[in-house]
């Protein structure tokens, strides 16, 4: 019906409404209408008013001038499904648009019930589906998906046990040709290895185009996803904090996924059966650009990494994550594994070494990173050591730092490409007065005396005391000498004003040894003009910048 003319009566809409109003006034107190008739008239009138309002809204510029395909994009750019559905309540025009936009209904959670699932599937039409399966979803809620498995793009299992996954697999047997991402989170009651005989023919192995696989388990059993055959997998992310992790099974899985580009593995579980892997077996992943391995046991972890080769990796990170109340015997890889890992994960020798130690009151993070001219990096780290402060006393973890620094120094000096290192960066946010400072200074001297010549040394947010030429603590004396260094950067030292004189002495000594710094750069929150003037006779150039530290403390580091 046109908003202009009511064709059945030959009246305009406004004339019809006026005539109806007069008739209602005339019969308002008449007994000719029953209660049901008046109720029906009320409903009809409400529907008519809704239609009138819809016509009125059609003249609003955003509804009259914007094509439907453009209006539908507004829904697509909203951040969440909840916000997209709320936008459908703006008016009827917007609601019809949202219902007709099938992609807006493609994400559905089975935990919301059978009716919800059927409505969403009907509106999603042939769109790719993103399915979320929570724990203990009834089979009848899964069955509507059985004929739509070819549309499933993303499948997420939240807080699901093995029985939940098995039940879904039986209710929706596939195939899954469009499945791109499979996420399995917080899996419990995983079956024993003996129960996995039929697994390969049962669960997701017909998802031949699967690109992303994420698996997070708190189970004590071996991760069943390693039984999958996914030849086109691009990204693999696995986290297992308990139980047993079978190393040969992992290698078999990786070997069957040659297209991988990203590998993130956190294996705090016990790594088993390494002795079954022949020493010469090395799995090549030629397309991996980012490789991360976090382990809870250092020797098995690095031994496992030595059986993997990622020649195209841009970023490689191998980290020990410890939860014990003492520093482990070894926190960085033994030289035999370090040599293998360096040659198997890098193409160009490193020219830059960065050592960062970041202690907290009850935790510690240490990273050694080697960087190549092509921006390739490989790092060995020690992360998060929750400890009991009562057991350690008032000095916290301070007594650990010399041992950790000593191991880090040994790892740098044993690096197989050390001769190519031209730049050294050191960052540690603590003062040596809280640690065994004489031993720390000895390790600093051992590191500096073993390097060189260097293009650059950066000491970032450190206490300068152990880096200065004459370090005194009681009866101990240690002469700390720098190698031949073109550029020395002292960036935001903790106590620069306390050691102005000794910084000048350092410059004089380097000059006297015939190895003057070509340039000294000082970045500090305090401006010490006299220091700049006193340095100038002994170095090629001095650059002093008064600037604040930026970002949070955990973001501070060499720049």
| pLDDT tens, residue by residue, 508-552 | 999 998 999 999 999 888 778 788 889 999 999 999 888 876 655
Q: Is the pTM of this model over 0.85?
A: no
Mapping DSSP to helix (H, G, I), strand (E, B) and coil, where does residue 513 land?
coil
Residue 324, pLDDT > 60, answer no
Say whether pLDDT at 7 is over 50.
no
Helix then strand count (H, E) for the chain reads 17, 25
Across 400-516, the runs of DSSP E, i.e. the strands, are: 423-428, 454-460, 470-473, 476-479, 485-491
- Mention every residue, 6+ apart, whose C-beta is less than 8 A from residue 416: 338, 339, 342, 343
Mean pLDDT of the chain: 79
Count how many residues are written for the chain.
559
Contact (CB, 8 A) for 216 and 239: yes
What's the confidence (pLDDT) of residue 196? 53
**H or E element at residue 61:** helix 61-64
Position 202 scores a pLDDT of: 56
Angle at Cα 497 formed by Cα 493 and Cα 499, nearest 5°? 85
Distance CA 186, CA 40 (A): 55
CB 135 within 8 Å of CB 161: yes
Max mean pLDDT among 121-135, 307-321, 378-392 falls in: 307-321
Question: Are 349 and 339 a contacting pair, CB within 8 Å?
Answer: no
Q: What is the pLDDT of residue 6?
A: 45
Packing angle between helix 298-305 and helix 247-255, nearest 10 degrees?
Answer: 20
- Buried (b) or exposed (e) across 234-265, using 16+ Cβ within 10 A? bbbbbbbbebebbbbbbbebbeebeebbbbbb
Under the banding of pLDDT at 50, 70 and 90, the label for residue 393 is: very low
CA distances from 141 to 47, 127, 137 (A): 35, 19, 7
């Amino acid at each position: 019906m046109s908003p202009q003319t009511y064709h059945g009566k030959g009246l305009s809409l406004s004339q019809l409404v006026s005539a109806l109003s007069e008739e209602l006034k005339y019969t308002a107190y008449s007994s000719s209408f029953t209660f049901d008739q008046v109720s029906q008239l009320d409903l009809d009138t409400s529907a008519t008013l809704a239609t009138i309002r819809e016509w009125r809204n059609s003249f609003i510029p955003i509804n009259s001038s914007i094509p439907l395909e453009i209006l539908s994009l507004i829904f697509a750019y909203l951040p969440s499904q909840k916000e997209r559905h709320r936008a459908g309540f703006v008016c009827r025009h917007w609601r019809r648009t949202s219902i007709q936009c099938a992609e807006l209904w493609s994400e559905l959670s089975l935990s919301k019930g059978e009716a919800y699932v059927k409505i969403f599937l009907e509106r999603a039409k042939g769109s790719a589906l993103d399915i979320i399966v929570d724990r203990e979803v009834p089979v009848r809620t899964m069955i509507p998906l059985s004929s739509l498995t070819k549309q499933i793009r993303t499948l997420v299992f939240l807080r699901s046990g093995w029985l939940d996954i098995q039940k879904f697999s039986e209710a929706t047997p596939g195939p899954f040709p469009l499945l791109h991402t499979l996420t399995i989170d917080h899996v419990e009651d995983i079956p024993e290895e003996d129960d996995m005989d039929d697994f390969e023919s049962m669960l997701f192995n017909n998802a031949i185009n699967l690109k992303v696989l994420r698996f997070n388990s708190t189970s004590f059993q071996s991760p069943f996803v390693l039984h999958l055959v996914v030849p086109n997998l691009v990204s693999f992310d696995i986290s297992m904090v308990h139980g047993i992790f079978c190393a040969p099974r992992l290698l078999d899985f990786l070997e069957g996924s040659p297209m991988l580009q990203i590998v993130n593995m956190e294996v705090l579980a016990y790594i088993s059966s390494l002795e079954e892997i022949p020493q010469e077996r090395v799995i090549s992943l030629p397309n991996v650009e980012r490789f991360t391995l976090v382990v809870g046991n250092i020797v098995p972890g690095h031994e496992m990494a030595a059986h993997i080769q990622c020649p195209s990796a841009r970023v490689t990170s191998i980290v020990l994550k410890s939860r014990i109340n003492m520093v482990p015997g070894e926190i960085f890889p033994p030289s035999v594994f370090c040599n293998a890992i360096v040659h198997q994960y890098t193409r160009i020798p490193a020219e830059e070494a960065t050592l960062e130690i970041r202690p907290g009151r009850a935790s510690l993070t240490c990273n050694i990173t080697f960087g190549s001219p092509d921006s390739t990096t490989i790092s060995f780290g020690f992360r998060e050591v929750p400890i009991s402060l009562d057991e350690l006393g008032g000095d916290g973890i301070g007594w650990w730092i010399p041992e950790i620094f000593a191991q880090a120094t040994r790892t740098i000096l044993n690096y197989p490409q050390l001769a190519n290192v031209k730049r050294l960066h050191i960052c540690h946010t603590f003062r040596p007065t809280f640690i065994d400072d004489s031993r720390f200074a000895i390790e600093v001297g051992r590191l500096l005396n073993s390097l060189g010549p260097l293009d650059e040394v950066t000491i970032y947010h450190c206490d300068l005391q152990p880096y200065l030429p004459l370090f005194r603590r009681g009866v101990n004396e240690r002469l700390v000498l720098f190698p031949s260094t073109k550029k020395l950067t002292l960036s935001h030292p903790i106590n620069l004003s306390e050691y102005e004189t000794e910084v000048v002495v350092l410059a004089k000594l380097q000059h006297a040894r015939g190895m003057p710094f070509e340039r000294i750069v000082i970045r500090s929150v305090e401006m010490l003009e006299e220091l700049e003037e006193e340095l100038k006779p002994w170095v090629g150039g001095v650059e002093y910048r008064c600037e604040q530290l930026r970002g949070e403390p955990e973001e501070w580091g060499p720049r």
